[in-house]
Structure 1
Amino acid sequence: MAYEFTVSGRIARPVHDVFEAVADPAKLSGYFTTGGAVGRLETGAVVTWDFHDFPGAFPVHVVEVDPDRKIVLRWDAPPDEDAAGNYQTTVTMSFSPLEDGRTLVSIHEAGWRDSEAGQKASYGNCEGWTGMVCALKVFVEHGINLREGFYK
């Protein structure tokens, strides 16, 4: 069994505002990528994300963007001891407008190897995406960077 997960949260803003807070690198850098984001999330782009708590900027491959609906990314899984070498996981972010004007954000990541290292990496990313959804909510609703000083 390969590992995968989905995290979700409701944000009290219209779907376009929430989508832009993820797609726009300046906004994403304001609450998530503590070391900054370079490049807008657009289909076919390769952008760079950097985190102070995860040293070193790394590439994020943008597979698909359906504005105000979906963003699909691929990025490298952490190196492991598997003889097959490096591999990537797929992240799918969905943005759904709710009847009350809020937005439901769901983030699904899949593709880790069925191994102890794959399980550990998936749990770490699940924690990271949960934190991202929380930080996104606080940033979009209140303009607060929840991650500032949280990790280092």
Structure 2
Amino acid sequence: MTQLIVEDRIARPAKDVFEAIVTVEGLSGFFVERTSAPMVPGTTVTWSFPHADVAFDVEVGEIETDRLVSWTWPGGRVAVELRETGPGVTALTITERPTGPGSEGAARAVGQTQGWTYFVCTLRAYLLHGLRHFGLSDGIRATLVE
């Protein structure tokens, strides 16, 4: 099974990182343009990305306060794990298991690498500098060629 893992650290406590990911204010500050509700286990929320004319439902999975947020969205299952590695420093591990056979799943994982890099960079800019969405693009493409 294809699996994509993106890891990074942010110089903020896990509580701050967690709140940015699960709240409407946080998510709409750095990742989605709009979300219909906060991330609560067992619920479905709608995320909108108007710059790409896309909106879809996200099924919220397991959530552990300040440690884990998981969801299923079109094409895969995502888990964001948080771990404080020092005073005020949080390590993030984002794991996505894209669906699709063979190279289709691999190609999706390659494309998602860009998306998760954007997620981490904008989360950092939001938490450390108060910057909201800086330069959304629907033109970046990644292609897996066999």
Bin for the TM-score computed over the shorter chain: 0.7 to 0.9
Contact 1:112 1:122 in 2 (8 A): no
The residue type paired with residue 12 of structure 1 is A
Structure 2 residue ranges without an equivalent (≥5): 139-146
Contact 2:98 2:108 in 1 (8 A): no
Give matches, 1:1-150, under 5 Å.
2-33=1-32, 35-77=33-75, 89-145=76-132, 147-150=133-136
Structure 1 stretches of at least 4 aligned residues deviating more than 4 Å after TM superposition = none
| Percentage of matched positions with identical amino acids | 32
Q: CA deviation at 1:45?
A: 1.0
Give the Cα–Cα distance (whole angstroms) in 1 for the partners of residues 52 and 2 of structure 2. 22
Residues 134-143 or 47-56, more deviating: 47-56
Report the structure, 1 or 2, having the larger helix content: 2
Structure 1 residue ranges without an equivalent (≥5): 78-88
Q: CA deviation at 1:56?
A: 2.3
The residue type paired with residue 148 of structure 1 is F
- 3-state DSSP of counterpart to 2:8: strand
Aligned residues: 138
The residue type paired with residue 29 of structure 1 is S
Deviations 1:84-125 (A, max 9, x none): xxxxx1101001011232011110001422333322222111
Partner residue in 1 for 2:137 = 151
Give the Cα–Cα distance (whole angstroms) in 1 for the partners of residues 108 and 51 of structure 2. 15
Q: CA deviation at 1:42?
A: 1.1
Q: CA deviation at 1:52?
A: 2.7
The residue type paired with residue 49 of structure 1 is W
TM-score, scaled to structure 1: 0.83
